């Protein structure tokens, strides 16, 4: 600092130097692009001692080469007396590592010649904080994928380019089927790990200019610029194939299946919101097709989705407004012609649409979870009506009630059945629960416990739609089932189709050998009835006898017994 000694008293100079050495910011004096002074803090930032820099090196030795033109311009301006503004550069330490710095220089003189003095700040922490803020704003914290905000920005740019160039953009919306089961059975931490594993694996399938984002939960979306329908379908196929290989998470081997919906810009929408909505519609269409598949969007699907939403809101209202009603179809003994039971069949008396059949709303009720409260109502109402007929002096009969798979598998189903019997006062032996073949064979060992608990209550059990699924005879022997119902698909052409007759006859024979009652459903003609009697079938129901009827009309049938065989 000898250049300043003539200008300041020695004590002031010593105090000045002590202050600069104590400062926790880099301080320098530059002249002719060489350091004439650096304080210890600045030298330490770059991994040097002050003597290794002073009169030996210049700023160009401490900054990345690509920024040298900017730095030279700044040093020349300071030397010319132009005041400086803060600017950022990338510093290079003695060991070669890099870090961001901010520099503020001012014109000065040293030994009578132009120079510049200034300060240098290490802004690594500031930059890291800014990066983290951007990351939190733009990226999903769990998976590290772009979040909804960043995805929106990127797709906005892609759509602008596509509009300008007349090209296309594909959007694929997908989620993981039954992901909630993973969280419920193994815990949310395992579910989170699975989402990260899925994100990592699927990211490898995409082109570098595609964007995979997580919108929340188990919902993901992919933006694919310049892709046609065939290309989007191929990506969807690879997605499904990749998920078919198990993920090993927290010691568990898990297989997940995706359902995906695809739409294309511009034909399926001109903005992100429309495209996302339509891809979501297509995804739910894929779920309706059995999951683990993909579907493209069509305008017709949009209308179907609107109807679905209206139907679901209507179902919720129907429960509260008591719009559901039961009709009953008689079950007839083929030996005597006596009506020995009825099957309770649900109807929805819609205030605007009239009577709606269950095939229009039961699938939606199952998907939305409404099947459980609806099923509870059916159980209670059917038991109440059966008890009312007993109290009216009619002979005891079997009340058959269909049980949906979701309803059967839920915790507390056995208790719900017991509660319906207790409230109505109906004898348990008069209640028969009908379960489809697929329902009882899915997780057969688990279901065996539920079936046994129902059997201990005294409830009768039957297998509905028998012959349409796959039954293990070993399990059929173990299940406490008392009745098989031959599916109507084998009855429709019984009088003309030899194969149907062979199947129906085999079921009847098997039922007899297993000491099970066999009932044929969907009987509509005298010829069908004659064949069933010839086979030795025990019971039948169908339009040949009666359509499903309201309770008051069934009461008249039970009194009249119009199907009795002549002696």
Residue-wise DSSP of 89-110:
EEEE-TTS-EEEEEEEEEEEEE
Confidence (pLDDT) at 307: 72
**The three-state (H, E, C) secondary structure of 283-322, written as one string:** HHHHHHCCCCCEEECCHHHHHHHHHHHHHHHHHHHHHHHC
CATH of domain 321-560: 3.20.20.450
Q: How far apart are alpha carbons 28 and 428 in whole angstroms?
A: 95
Q: How far apart are alpha carbons 349 and 314 in whole angstroms?
A: 11
Region(s) of the chain under CATH 3.30.70.270: 139-297
Q: What is the mean pLDDT of residues 356-373?
A: 88
- Above 50 in pLDDT, residue 327? yes
Tell me, what DSSP letter sits at residue 145? S
CATH topology of domain 139-297: Alpha-Beta Plaits (3.30.70)
- Mean pLDDT (the chain) is 89
Strand, coil or helix: 270: coil
pLDDT-derived band at 2, boundaries 50, 70, 90:
very low
Q: How far apart are alpha carbons 96 and 100 in whole angstroms?
A: 13
423-451 pLDDT tens trace: 999 999 999 999 987 787 776 777 888 89
232-291 pLDDT tens trace: 888 998 999 898 889 999 888 888 899 999 999 999 999 999 999 999 999 988 888 888
161-209 pLDDT tens trace: 999 999 999 999 999 998 988 888 889 999 999 999 999 998 888 888 9
pLDDT-derived band at 305, boundaries 50, 70, 90:
low
Confidence (pLDDT) at 338: 96
Q: How far apart are alpha carbons 5 and 111 in whole angstroms?
A: 9
Task: Number of helices (H) and strands (E) in the chain: give both, helices first.
Answer: 21, 21
* CB contact set of 7 (below 8 Å; sequence gap of 6+): none
* CB contact set of 203 (below 8 Å; sequence gap of 6+): 145, 212
- Weakest-pLDDT range from 87-91, 155-159, 183-187, 366-370: 366-370
pLDDT-derived band at 10, boundaries 50, 70, 90:
low
Region(s) of the chain under CATH 3.20.20.450: 321-560
Helix 148-165 to helix 124-138 angle (10° resolution) is 80
Give the pairing of strands 431-436 and 460-466: parallel
Q: What is the mean pLDDT of residues 338-345?
A: 96
- Above 60 in pLDDT, residue 8? no
Alpha-carbon dihedral sign for residues 67, 68, 69, 71: positive
Q: What CATH class is the domain 2-127?
A: alpha beta
Encoded tokens for 449: 């416990």
* CB contact set of 546 (below 8 Å; sequence gap of 6+): 329, 330, 557
């Amino acid at each position: 600092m000898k250049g300043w000694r003539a200008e300041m008293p020695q004590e002031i100079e010593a105090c000045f130097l002590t202050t600069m050495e104590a400062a926790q910011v880099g301080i320098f004096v530059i002249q002719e692009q060489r350091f004439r002074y650096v304080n210890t803090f600045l030298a330490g930032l770059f991994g040097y001692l002050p003597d290794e820099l002073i009169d030996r090196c210049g700023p160009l030795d401490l900054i990345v080469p690509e920024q040298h033109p900017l730095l030279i311009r700044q040093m020349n301006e300071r030397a010319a007396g132009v005041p400086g503004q803060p600017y950022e550069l990338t510093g290079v330490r003695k060991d070669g590592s890099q870090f961001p710095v901010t520099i503020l220089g001012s014109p000065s003189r040293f030994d009578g010649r132009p120079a510049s003095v200034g300060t240098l700040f290490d802004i690594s922490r500031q930059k890291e904080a800014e990066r983290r803020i951007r990351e939190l704003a733009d990226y999903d914290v769990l998976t590290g994928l772009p979040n909804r905000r960043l995805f929106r920005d990127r797709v906005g740019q892609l759509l602008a380019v596509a509009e300008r160039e007349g090209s296309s953009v594909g959007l694929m919306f997908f989620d993981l089927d039954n992901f909630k089961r993973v969280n419920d059975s193994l815990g949310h931490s395992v579910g989170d790990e699975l989402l990260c594993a899925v994100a990592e694996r699927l990211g490898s399938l995409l082109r570098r200019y595609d964007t995979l984002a997580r919108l929340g939960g188990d919902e993901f979306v992919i933006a694919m610029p310049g892709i046609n329908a065939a290309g989007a379908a191929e990506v969807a196929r690879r997605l499904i194939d990749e998920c078919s290989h198990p993920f090993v998470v927290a010691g568990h081997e898990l297989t997940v299946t995706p359902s995906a919906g695809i739409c294309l810009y511009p034909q399926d929408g001109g903005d992100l919101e429309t495209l996302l909505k339509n891809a979501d519609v297509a995804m739910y269409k894929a779920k309706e097709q059995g999951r683990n598949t993909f579907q493209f969007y069509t305008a017709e699907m949009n209308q179907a989705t609107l109807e679905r939403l209206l139907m679901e809101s209507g179902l919720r209202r129907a429960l509260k407004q008591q719009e559901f009603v039961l009709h009953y179809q008689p079950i007839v003994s083929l030996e005597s012609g006596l009506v020995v039971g009825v099957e309770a069949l649900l109807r929805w008396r819609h205030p605007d649409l009239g009577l709606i059949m269950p095939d229009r709303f039961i699938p939606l009720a199952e998907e939305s979870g409404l099947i459980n409260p609806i099923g509870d109502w059916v159980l209670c109402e059917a038991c109440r009506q059966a008890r009312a007929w007993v109290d009216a002096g009619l002979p005891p009969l079997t009340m058959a009630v269909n049980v949906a798979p979701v309803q059967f598998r839920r915790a507390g189903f056995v208790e719900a059945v017991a509660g319906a019997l207790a409230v109505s006062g109906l004898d348990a032996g008069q209640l028969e629960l009908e379960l489809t073949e697929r329902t009882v064979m899915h997780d057969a060992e688990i279901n065996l416990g539920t079936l046994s608990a129902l059997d201990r209550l005294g409830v009768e059990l039957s297998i509905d739609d028998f012959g349409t699924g796959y039954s293990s005879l070993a399990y059929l022997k173990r299940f406490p089932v008392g009745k098989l119902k031959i599916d109507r698909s084998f009855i429709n052409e019984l009088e003309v189709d030899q194969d149907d007759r062979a199947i129906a006859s085999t079921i009847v024979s098997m039922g007899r050998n297993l000491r099970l009652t066999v009932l044929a459903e969907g009987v509509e003609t005298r010829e069908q009835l004659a064949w069933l009697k010839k086979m030795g079938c025990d019971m039948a129901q169908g339009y040949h006898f009666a359509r499903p009827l309201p309770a008051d009309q069934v009461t008249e049938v039970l009194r009249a017994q119009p199907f009795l065989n002549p002696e």
